[in-house]
Amino acid sequence: ILNNFGLARGIRNFIDRIGDMHNIRINFTTSLRQERFDSNIEVILYRVACELINNSLKHAKCKNISLALELHKDCLVLDYEDDGRGFLYTEVMDYGMGLSNIKSRVSSLNGIFDIKSNPGKGMSAHIVVRIDSSIAHLSGSDYELLNTEDYDTKKSKDSSR
């Protein structure tokens, strides 16, 4: 499906299959229709979406997942949220491979992976990938183009997530 019909349809197909097997509500919204992107971008974002959903099903004990995939100018933005049990980010990065795989995959596209979670409060992830492979960060409705050093500095100041 991903190869033939693109990212949005591939994610929708995955969600439909997962929904049939689990008692969970997954809300998926997208502004994409039939747009196609570099196959590397499509495959990586598809795998990231699948990994996030599988992590929520396996670990979060959530009832609801919300996933939004949007095209904003020259960026693909994936926003993800679940209402599960949450976690401390610093404690799970060394446990298992899921989140570190996601971080590595997004980094391979020069993208941004920002995750927030606290015990008892679910988790959210924000992923931004420039279609031309530059780094961009979506903040509210404004774009800030950041180079890697600026983002790393900002990220270290926000490490309390």
What's the confidence (pLDDT) of residue 93? 65
What's the confidence (pLDDT) of residue 104? 93
pTM of the model: 0.78
What's the confidence (pLDDT) of residue 12? 95
Structure confidence at residue 37 as a pLDDT band (50, 70, 90): very high
pLDDT in tens, 134-147: 333 333 333 343 33
Q: Please state, as a whole number, how many other Cβ atoms lie within 10 Å of the Cβ of residue 126.
A: 17
**pLDDT at residue 86 is higher than 90:** yes
Between β-strands 64-72 and 25-30, what pairing exists: parallel, antiparallel or unpaired? parallel
User: In the sheet where 123-130 sits, what is the strand order?
Assistant: 25-30, 64-72, 75-82, 123-130, 112-117
